[in-house]
Amino acid sequence: MFALVDGNNFYVSCERVFNPTLDEKPVVVLSNNDGCIISRSNEAKALGFKMGEPVFKRKELIEQNNVNVFSSNYTLYGDMSNRMMKTLKEFSPEVEVYSIDEAFLDLTGIQGNLEEYGQTIRATVYKNLGLPVGIGIANTKTLAKIANKIAKKQNGVFVIDSERIRDWALRNTPIEDVWGIGRQYAKMLTNMGVHTAYDFTRLDSNWVKDRMTVVGQRTREELLGLSCISLETIVKSKKNIATTRAFGKKLSDINTIAEAVATHAVRCAEKLRKQQSVANFVTVFIHTDPFNPNEKYIYRSVTVTMDEASNSNPDLAKAALAGLRKIYIPNILYKKTGVIVSEISSEKNIQGNLFKTTDREKLNKISKVTDSLNAKYGRDKLKLAVQGNKKEWKLKQEKLSPCFTTRWEDILKVKA
């Protein structure tokens, strides 16, 4: 049996933990650059705020209802997430951290009533962290997802442990709510009269494979109660790593854009080092505002191959900046840039370059010192000169809450 534990309105709930005056009030959390609404309290959902909506389109609704608005504070949410996962690991030896707010637990061998066990998990997470979660339990991950959705509408825990309940759950799950059925497939299926998860299971298996590949076929099997997707408890190293951001305002000057590109490249290097990998390719892209109908949309990108795979800040920044110079066109207002590294392999066995003698020892030492200083004194305390100081490209974060759990100055003060 699998349990899917999922934080309710996770980002909003994290904000509420440290600011109880937000309880029972409409709250929304925005995406980077304060662009879209990406987390909503139940009260905000009731007011009609939609997931992913651009916030500027709902200014009025926000003001009329005194909605509390926050920039996203990933430092806080990430730390709360780690703490939540730690608590969950007390309840199962096998935990797959599926996303920042979700985890699958292997409940094989748990004695006694699973519904009660779920309620105990819920209560413990709430006691330890103040975060509300919903828990779905079933014998396949896809069914656990469905159970989780039902749990949130009921008392927080729902168990699918009989054919009768499975049947009922499938008949009451709209096809677009099934894990693995996205917008395109939902549209196609609805047009054919497939409206619920139950309808989907009635389709011919080969027909499903023809039109939705083996992935769709697996989803169907999982809904039927045949487990095809196993628990993945080992964190796999990433095959691509990206750092991309829109600018706070549109930019044209190459030097300012270069600061952003160098900083994104350094961020990629840090992520590589964290998983003990090196990358061979560095892709840089830059584009104008895709939403402005009055200007031509321009998107340019290039992939630079480095002489040797690397994870050092200067190597990646150098490659990324060389790429930027290739694609940059002057006198254009750009909106966003990003760096993506790929062809990732282990840092333990790097393929050397015959014509280059890299002092890798030295580079690694520099990286170690840089990482430890920055861990202690804050991100980018030690940085490359090309990363600049002006931060003109930085994103908007006008409504950021403090980093309550990760920064000494931000610790909550209580008056007694």
Can you give the binding site for DNA, defined by CB under 7 A? 31-33, 35-36, 38, 52, 54, 56, 98-102, 145, 178-186, 213-215, 236, 238-246, 250, 271, 289, 291-292, 335-336, 338, 340, 395
Beta carbon nearer to DNA, 228 or 254 = 228
Residue whose entry in the numeric block shows the structure tokens 């709510």: 177
Residues across the chain = 416
Tell me how far, at minimum, the Cβ of 46 lies from DNA, in Å. 21
Tell me how far, at minimum, the Cβ of 33 lies from DNA, in Å. 5
Instruction: Give the span between the Cα atoms of 275 and 278, in whole angstroms.
Output: 9
Tell me how far, at minimum, the Cβ of 259 lies from DNA, in Å. 15
Pick from 289, 215, 278, 284: nearest CA to 244: 284
Residue whose entry in the numeric block shows the structure tokens 């979660």: 133
CB 251 within 8 A of CB 393: yes
Beta carbon nearer to DNA, 37 or 159 = 37
Tell me how far, at minimum, the Cβ of 114 lies from DNA, in Å. 22
Tell me how far, at minimum, the Cβ of 221 lies from DNA, in Å. 13
Beta carbon nearer to DNA, 38 or 110 = 38
Beta carbon nearer to DNA, 118 or 338 = 338
CB 320 within 8 A of CB 261: yes
One DSSP character per residue, 295-349 reads: S---EEEEEEEEEEEE--HHHHHHHHHHHHHHH--SS--EEEEEEEEEEEEETTS
Beta carbon nearer to DNA, 217 or 367 = 217
Tell me how far, at minimum, the Cβ of 411 lies from DNA, in Å. 27
Instruction: Give the span between the Cα atoms of 380 and 394, in whole angstroms.
Output: 14
Beta carbon nearer to DNA, 54 or 93 = 54
